[in-house]
Amino acid sequence: MGKIVITGASSEIGLAIARRLSALGKPLVLQYNSRKPAPDGLEAEWVQADFSRREELERFIAGLSDVEILVNAAAVTHTGLLPQMEDTQIDAMLSVNVVAATLLCRAVIPEMCHKRRGIIVNLSSVTAGKVYRGQSVYGGTKAYLEAFTKGLAAEYAKKGLRCNCVAPGSIESGSMQKLIIQTGRDDLQEVNAAHRFGTPEDVAAAVAFLCSDDASYVNGAVLHVDGGYWLGL
């Protein structure tokens, strides 16, 4: 039985994805950086690794085997105009959002090809296509991830692999909760037609769909979970 590997699993979105995919009955390997969630009945192997450190990323990759589903949900977000950003902030976003996701995919693809079965879901962001001030680097890393995902789908669809993206919008979790406090709930809710924030469970449902047989003919897609953000409202 193949394993499900989820990176960034200690975040609210990552944990919601883990809970949703646990219903598949496959062994779960969940990566976290520094904060391991308290046990809540979720049976899983938790592995600590700071993906901004190359040696820890390589250690995590070396421990992987028999991966059937890979969900790259680990991400670093820093907001600021480029001249004002620290080198460490830029390095962290590139290391986690781009390099780690790329090397993880490279590590699991050969065995997936051998078995003629595998699913990769990369978490992008609406900022990949609609970038606001202060998001140039972060949005750029997510745009890379979408193009990278489409490239993998083109290269390995004939080998039985499916590679897709989920692009969340205004999800009430993590950094968005801080932004709500700073900016105000009503102003932020105006950015999408639904006039409300999404939940981590909304994102998890989209990931679960892409990991299911119902999505067997979906490959190289970017599934937006944004409440109508792209309508420009």
Report d(CA 6, CA 119) in Å as an integer: 12
**Among residues 98, 74, 57, 70, which one has the least CA distance to residue 13?**
74
Question: Tokens in use for 109?
Answer: 């693809």
Tokens 């990759």 map to which residue?
A: 61
Beta-strand ranges (E) seen in 87-194 are 118-123, 161-168
Cβ–Cβ under 8 Å, residues 79 and 134? yes
> Which residues are part of the catalytic machinery?
138
Report d(CA 156, CA 148) in Å as an integer: 12
